[in-house]
């Protein structure tokens, strides 16, 4: 299998793509998101299930629900065939900024050949000018 085909296969598989995103762990070290918490696995299973229409996450802090939701949103936006606008909202501006910074971190830590050219990149805004890669 060629390198390009391997990349396409990863991009077409939500779980494979998400597990290759980079996150900052509790110590601030960059690592792959390849060892999700059990709660994150359950959430991802629900996000992937076409029969599930509504997901309510009544979560304690520090189980990574926000990180997984950000990763899933990043994936959905990344593979969208048509332009898509993603809105991030939270109860406080600092929380919104924190969530956006995770999305930005996912983009910035992608391999260079997967990063999209950004028409605009500033606080709270990433605007992609390229078409989807696959």
56 within 8 A of 22, measured Cβ to Cβ: no
**Confidence check: pLDDT of 131 > 50:** no
Q: What integer best gives the mean pLDDT of the chain?
A: 82
Q: What is the DSSP letter of 33?
A: S
Rounded Cα–Cα distance for residues 75 and 124 (Å): 18
Q: What percent of the chain has pLDDT over 70?
A: 85
Task: Give pLDDT, residue 90.
Answer: 84
User: CB-hemisphere CA count at 13 Å for 16?
Assistant: 8
CA angle 94/63/60 to nearest 5° reads 75
Q: Model confidence at 26, in pLDDT bands (50, 70, 90)?
A: confident
Q: What is the DSSP letter of 32?
A: E
**pLDDT tens-digit series, residues 87-113:** 888 888 888 888 888 888 998 898 887
Arithmetic mean of pLDDT, 60-73: 83
Place of tokens 């802090």: 61
Task: Give pLDDT, residue 130.
Answer: 56
């Amino acid at each position: 299998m060629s390198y390009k085909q391997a990349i396409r296969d990863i991009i077409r598989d939500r779980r494979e793509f998400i597990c290759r995103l980079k996150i900052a762990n509790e110590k601030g070290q960059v690592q792959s998101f390849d060892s999700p918490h059990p709660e994150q696995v359950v959430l991802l299973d629900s996000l992937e299930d076409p029969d599930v229409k509504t997901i309510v996450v009544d979560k304690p802090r520090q189980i990574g629900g926000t990180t997984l939701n950000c990763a899933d949103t990043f994936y959905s936006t990344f593979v969208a065939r048509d332009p898509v606008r993603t809105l991030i909202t939270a109860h406080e501006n600092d929380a919104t900024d924190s969530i956006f910074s995770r999305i930005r971190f996912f983009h910035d830590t992608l391999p260079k050949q997967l990063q999209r050219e950004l028409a605009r990149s500033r606080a709270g805004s990433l605007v992609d000018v390229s078409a989807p890669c696959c």
